[in-house]
Amino acid sequence: MLLKNISPNVVTFNILIDGLSKEGEVRKAKNVLAIMIKQGVKPDVVTYNSLMDGYFLVKEVNKATYVFNTFAQTEVKPDVVSYNVMINGLYKNKMVDEAMDLFKEMHLKNIAPNTRTYNSLIDGLCKSGRISDAWDLVDEMHDRGLHANVFTYNSILDALSKSHQIDKTIELFVKINDQGIQLDMYTYTILVDALCKNGRLKDALEIFEDILIKGYRFDVTMYTVMIDGLCKEGLLDEALSLMSKMEDNGCTPNGITYTTLIHALSKNGKNEKAVKLHREMIARDETKDVASLEIMIRGGMLQQAWSLFGPNREERAELVKIGKKIVRKCKGSPLATKALGSLLRFKTDEHQWDSIEKEDLIHLWMANGFISSRGNLEVEHVGNDVWNELYQRSFFEEIKTHGKGNVTFKMHDIFHDIASSIMGEQCLALETASLTHLSKRVHHIKCLNVDVHFKNNLILFKRVESLRTVLNVYPPKSNLSVFPSITPLRVLSSNCTQLSALKNFIHLRLISLPKQLTQLQDLRHLMIRWCRALRATPFNIGGLTHLRTLSTFIVGSKARFGLAELHNLQLGGKLHIKCLENVSNERDAREANLIGKKELSHLYLSWGGDANSQGSGTGAEKVLEALEPRKGLKYFGMEGYKGVKIPNWMRNTSILEGLVDVILYKCINCDQLPALGKLPLGLGIGQAAYRRLRPGL
């Protein structure tokens, strides 16, 4: 055009910028914009919308936001498409709250959202588990005269399915079908998958056959979902037959289809068929080498990948080599195996290593800087999300949930070998009797079977330059003078009472408390266990403003050791408040501000045996009334309560509705029980609780 002296107009430039942006060539698109401006052609809203879309495509959220904020201040004003681009891009980058803020801004600027706006927000909310907020937007759509379509309902169906609300999933499916909304293959796939995963294979097969009769053309996802459902019920011949029909109908299996079947065949001892399918998969060029193993890992089929590569040492070594390549690909992501290896490689011999609690592992990740807060999510929530993702990828095995909700697990064989190979001397767990040398490169160490001989050889720690984690160390005289004062130590499990030289701790597990505890301003997790001689939690612990976990708080009998120390602490997880007989009145009890601690999941309240007059009878009743917790507790218990009546908040089912376990122990005067029978969920109360309540209850 330029050679023929034909000047391109704004439409021409917009077509170029839009095409380049859709291909991810944002730099080139920006160059075209520069030429456009140089030639005196003014960009319009379409120009900027295309550029923002391109930046979101290449995950450059900040640049997309910059373009939006910049052109919004010019004579070119954002339109509904501009906001749709931003909202869609933000939610796909898991920035749902920021997307909602823009949605509110649209209202303020009188820019009417359209169906695409609502669909983007509803999908983002559903993917964040905020289904009720999504339904609110559906209602708002209807109020504005907009009609929800199949894309709207697919988002909600998918969220209901993934949260295992099968009855609501079916109810919604029937509702939208009755409304005459044209369902697509994704709608049916969601329903079939939900039925299969909830043990309703017969219903899933009926729908599958019905869709087939209606003339729908199945895609690879639908076939794979149905094959997976058959495999989970042990119907392997039927699954293999369906895979054959799938190919007859012109639909080629993908890597997930193959690994689904390989998993099931290996699990049921049909290794020959599994190996045959694996070879067929490679021959079809579906997956090769690293890609093959990665698909199996990401599909949750580690044990089967292991069996395919063989059990002997040479073949294991080959698998570890491939695993290392995967680790390099995971660099910088929450799935990085190094982060696991550095904290799970605590083995006692070649084939066995310790179980670890989920909560402890998350705390160790945090203390060592492997995870950090994300958006409005506290780092503890990020850690929980990372753990769940690793669990879904089969990084862990022997996962057990214990009575009080504690989850323990071990690291999977394959990742243990990979992590061991990567970490080398940086991470050790050793019998202390055999510890004669420590490398300068050691970052993390766990001491096993500590003995007297070991205590006399703690001088070994002086050689370590960058020690970050020490578990189960009990030095003589209960001090840490063996560690260099400049050590970056972040995690300690010990009986140490002298910490003056070490102020970088983020996570402590102690069986005796140091005098300098309140100087540890960065401390985030404090686990106090077996401190039987402790009569009160140290004064001014409320000054540790970063503290998020405090396993035990002991109310002292003297002033300045009361519940007011808890008032401003944003505690979560488990909290046991002991010696409540020392609380003089309900005003002091209310200072604990339990109702403001939104992250608490476990709460245990106990009164001692030598209760004074304030800790018995009506005094205890008033104190307990003032200790009302927030809604959403999972575990609640109390011990030694001397009152007769239960507080009003224990009669409120909305406060107790999330409970899964209750302990009422030694409450011998109590003549009432909370309204547990009205709760929607099955609730476990320990037998000990019944035995120690007032007879007749």
CB 323, CB 414: distance < 8 Å: yes
pLDDT for the residue 393 = 63
* Residue 236: C-alpha distances to residues 223, 266, 466, 558 (Å): 14, 11, 53, 70
Cα distance between residue 382 and residue 366, in whole Å: 10
Terminal-residue alpha carbon distance, the chain: 91
CB burial of 646-679 (b: ≥16 within 10 Å; e: otherwise) equals: bbebbeeeebbebbbbbbbbbbebbeebbeeeeb
pLDDT for the residue 437 = 67
Neighbours of 540 (CB within 10 A): 13
Domain 315-425 has CATH 3.40.50.300: no
Token pair for residue 230?
A: 């058959």
CB 674, CB 653: distance < 8 Å: no
Q: Would the pLDDT of 508 be above 80?
A: no
Range with lowest mean pLDDT among 106-115, 258-267, 410-419, 687-696 = 687-696
Cα distance between residue 64 and residue 50, in whole Å: 10
Q: Which of 511-525, 566-580, 644-658 has the highest mean pLDDT?
A: 566-580
Q: Average of pLDDT values for 504-519?
A: 54
CB 513, CB 519: distance < 8 Å: no
Range with lowest mean pLDDT among 122-126, 146-150, 264-268 = 264-268
- Report residue 431: phi and psi, to 5°: -65, 125
Q: If DSSP codes are grouped into helix, strand and coil, which group holds residue 468? A: coil
Cα distance between residue 125 and residue 127, in whole Å: 5
Helices of type H across 333-476: 337-344, 358-367, 379-392, 413-423, 452-455
Instruction: Return the domain boundaries, the chain.
Output: 315-425, 435-522, 540-697
Q: Mean pLDDT, the chain, as a whole number?
A: 76
Apex 533 CA angle, 527 and 535, nearest 5: 85
- Read off the pLDDT band of 697 (50, 70, 90): very low
pLDDT for the residue 506 = 52
Q: Would the pLDDT of 565 be above 60?
A: yes
Query: pLDDT tens, 197-206?
Result: 898 999 999 9
- The alpha carbon dihedral of 360, 362, 363, 368 has a sign of positive
CB burial of 434-458 (b: ≥16 within 10 Å; e: otherwise) equals: ebeebeeebbbbbbbebeeebeeeb
Q: Would the pLDDT of 353 be above 70?
A: no
- Full-model pTM: 0.46
Helices of type H across 490-581: none
pLDDT for the residue 291 = 43
Query: pLDDT tens, 73-90?
Result: 778 888 999 999 999 999
Which residue has 């007032």 as its token pair?
A: 694
Query: pLDDT tens, 208-227?
Result: 988 888 888 889 999 999 99
Which of 568, 573, 626, 647 lies closest to 604 in space, CA to CA? 573
Range with lowest mean pLDDT among 443-457, 526-540, 604-618 = 443-457
Which residue has 């927030």 as its token pair?
A: 630
Cα distance between residue 581 and residue 560, in whole Å: 16
Q: Which of 167-171, 290-294, 664-668 has the highest mean pLDDT?
A: 167-171
Query: pLDDT tens, 516-558?
Result: 566 676 777 787 766 666 777 776 788 888 888 888 898 988 7
- Read off the pLDDT band of 341 (50, 70, 90): very low
Q: Would the pLDDT of 495 be above 70?
A: no
CB 60, CB 32: distance < 8 Å: no
DSSP notation for 549-575: EESEEE--SSTTSSGGGGTT---EEEE
Q: Average of pLDDT values for 45-69?
A: 90
Which residues neighbour 609 within 8 Å (Cβ) at sequence distance 6 or greater?
640
Q: Average of pLDDT values for 261-267?
A: 83
Task: Choose between 14 and 612: higher pLDDT.
Answer: 14
Neighbours of 153 (CB within 10 A): 23
In the chain, the percentage of residues whose pLDDT exceeds 70 is 67
Question: The domain at 540-697 falls in which architecture?
Answer: Alpha-Beta Horseshoe (3.80)
Cα distance between residue 109 and residue 361, in whole Å: 47
